[in-house]
């Protein structure tokens, strides 16, 4: 029995078909992968997540807005009328310092002692000169009174003779009228009386002139006494000023060039400076860009870190130093305990009161009258989207909203510069 084997029959068309199917599927796969790659490339990156506790949100409000500027750098300084500068009255030497800067003083407090031996001699000389002038006055007065007394005696004698001759003339006239005496006798008596009348009048005038002359001479001598007294008073005041007194109640301030024991000082040298503590003002350092809206008389508040004091602007320094201008504020309320010159203070100045304004807290980054880019938080609070916001005038803590936000919107005010490359964030 003969067995025949099965033979494989070659199918070239089947191989071509499989090869063609493989190529088709490969092409489809390539197309699908390319499409997937293109789709993935078109997808936006996932929004980054931001910790909610690290942001500073605020809600847009409508209502009144007080525009303010704040100075975080300032100090209490003396007002111009509160400083008592005490100069040396004469050339002298410092022998003792009794009070140091910072001490509280009263008008009678002696601050330091000076010595001037020459001044002591001048005081002694002036005392002797005054005594000599007073002695000269008394001597002249005695001499003049003695001379006047002699003239008064002579005038009295003339007056007595005049009175007697007048009586005699009257008697002789009566006798003449009766025919008892001759006309010659009466004429002689009348002539004598008339002569004494003229002499009496002249004597009285001379006495008046002498009295006036005496008054002039005594007044001249009194002037010398007054001059001697004035000179003595001057030297005595200068001597008293060697014990330098405060003169007012206040605090002793340090001098730019303090004096030392043993130092010789000339007249006019500043020996001490006393400041009245109830007459201080605040000197605030305001950035030049913020100071342009400040006006004299605007209300302010000064924080001494131990109380807030109301005040008003009295001066704006025209010069700019290190980008700031000095603004002086006079205090309208009492100073708290511990307030001293050079005490560091903060200050806020009210620039303007605006009504019915849309506003929000001032962002960490951004200036007034500009367009800011802020993240507005979604109503559900889970995310935030970047929006442009046009802002107007700014205050210390708030800024006016002109466009881009509505009342009730909530935005992020904290520094979001690390997310400048994204327009949306998630909040967790």
Contacts of 174 (CB under 8 A, 6+ apart): none
The answer to the question of residue 57 being in a domain is yes
pLDDT of residue 38: 56
pTM of the model: 0.59
Confidence of residue 286 (pLDDT cuts 50, 70, 90): very high
Q: What is the pLDDT of residues 354-392, one digit of tens each?
A: 999 999 999 988 888 899 999 999 999 999 999 999 999
Confidence of residue 143 (pLDDT cuts 50, 70, 90): confident
More confident residue, 39 or 113: 113
- In three-state secondary structure terms, 255 is coil
Number of domains in the chain: 3
Check whether residue 94 and residue 178 sit in a common domain: no
Strand partners, 272: 86
Confidence of residue 40 (pLDDT cuts 50, 70, 90): very low
The answer to the question of residue 397 being in a domain is yes
The rounded percent of the chain whose pLDDT value lies above 70 is 77
Check whether residue 287 and residue 417 sit in a common domain: yes
pLDDT of residue 1: 40
Check whether residue 111 and residue 131 sit in a common domain: no
Q: What is the CATH number of the domain that holds 413?
A: 2.40.30.170
Q: What is the pLDDT of residues 104-138, one digit of tens each?
A: 999 999 999 999 999 999 999 999 999 999 998 88
Check whether residue 65 and residue 109 sit in a common domain: no
Check whether residue 148 and residue 263 sit in a common domain: no
In this model, does residue 256 exceed pLDDT 80? yes
pLDDT of residue 2: 43
Domain boundary among 259, 275, 291: 275
Check whether residue 307 and residue 417 sit in a common domain: yes
Check whether residue 129 and residue 260 sit in a common domain: no
Task: Tell me which residue of 409, 403, 416 sits closest to 361, measured CA to CA.
Answer: 409
DSSP string, 369-406: SEEEEEEEEPTTSSEEEEEEEEEEEE-SSEEEEEES--
pLDDT of residue 35: 63
pLDDT of residue 4: 46
pLDDT of residue 366: 80
pLDDT of residue 85: 92
pLDDT of residue 237: 93
State phi, psi for 378 to the nearest 5 degrees. Answer: -65, 155
Q: Which domain holds residue 230?
A: 118-240
Check whether residue 213 and residue 261 sit in a common domain: no
Out of 23-27, 72-76, 101-105, 114-118, least confident range = 23-27
Check whether residue 284 and residue 404 sit in a common domain: yes
In this model, does residue 423 exceed pLDDT 70? yes
Out of 39-48, 394-403, 409-418, least confident range = 39-48
pLDDT of residue 7: 45
In this model, does residue 320 exceed pLDDT 80? yes
Give the integer Cα–Cα distance in Å for 60 and 403: 12
pLDDT of residue 152: 64
Check whether residue 312 and residue 234 sit in a common domain: no
pLDDT of residue 155: 60
Check whether residue 268 and residue 305 sit in a common domain: no
Q: What is the CATH number of the domain that holds 258?
A: 2.40.50.100
pLDDT of residue 93: 95
Check whether residue 421 and residue 283 sit in a common domain: yes
pLDDT of residue 339: 84
């Amino acid at each position: 029995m003969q067995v025949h084997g099965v033979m494989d029959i070659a199918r070239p068309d089947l191989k071509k078909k499989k090869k063609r199917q493989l190529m088709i599927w490969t092409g489809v796969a390539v197309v699908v992968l390319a499409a997937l790659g293109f789709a993935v490339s078109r997808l936006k990156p996932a929004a980054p997540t931001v910790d909610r506790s690290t942001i500073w949100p605020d809600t847009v409000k409508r209502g009144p807005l007080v525009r303010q500027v704040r100075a975080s750098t300032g100090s209490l300084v003396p007002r111009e009328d509160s400083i008592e500068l005490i100069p040396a009255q004469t050339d002298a030497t410092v022998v003792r310092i009794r009070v140091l800067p910072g001490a509280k003083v009263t008008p009678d407090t002696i601050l330091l002692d000076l010595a001037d031996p020459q001044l002591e001699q001048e005081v002694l000389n002036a005392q002797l000169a005054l005594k000599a002038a007073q002695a000269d006055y008394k001597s002249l007065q005695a001499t003049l009174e003695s001379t006047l007394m002699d003239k008064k005696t002579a005038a009295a004698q003339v007056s007595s003779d005049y009175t007697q001759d007048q009586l005699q003339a009257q008697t002789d006239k009566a006798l003449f009228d009766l025919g008892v005496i001759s006309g010659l006798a009466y004429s002689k008596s009348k002539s004598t009386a008339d002569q004494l009348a003229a002499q009496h009048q002249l004597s009285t005038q001379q006495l008046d002139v002498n009295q006036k002359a005496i008054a002039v001479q005594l007044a001249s001598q009194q002037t010398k006494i007054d001059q001697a007294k004035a000179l003595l008073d001057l030297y005595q005041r200068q001597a008293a000023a060697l014990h330098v007194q405060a003169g007012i109640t206040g605090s002793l301030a340090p001098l730019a060039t303090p004096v030392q024991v043993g130092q010789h000082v000339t007249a006019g040298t500043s020996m001490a400076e006393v400041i009245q503590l109830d007459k201080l003002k605040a000197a605030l350092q305001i950035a030049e860009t913020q100071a342009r809206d400040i006006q004299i008389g605007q209300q302010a508040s000064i924080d001494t870190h131990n109380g807030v004091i109301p005040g008003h602007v009295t001066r704006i320094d025209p010069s700019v130093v290190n980008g700031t201008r000095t603004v002086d504020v006079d205090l309208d309320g009492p100073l708290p305990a511990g307030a001293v010159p050079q005490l560091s203070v903060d200050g806020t100045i009210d620039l303007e009161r605006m009504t019915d304004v849309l506003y929000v807290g001032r962002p960490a980054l951004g200036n007034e009258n500009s367009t800011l880019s802020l993240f507005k938080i979604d109503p559900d609070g889970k995310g935030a989207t970047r929006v442009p916001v046009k802002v107007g005038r700014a205050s210390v803590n708030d800024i006016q909203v002109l466009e881009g936000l509505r009342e009730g919107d909530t935005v992020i005010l904290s520094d979001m510069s690390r997310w400048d490359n994204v327009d949306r964030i998630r909040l967790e």
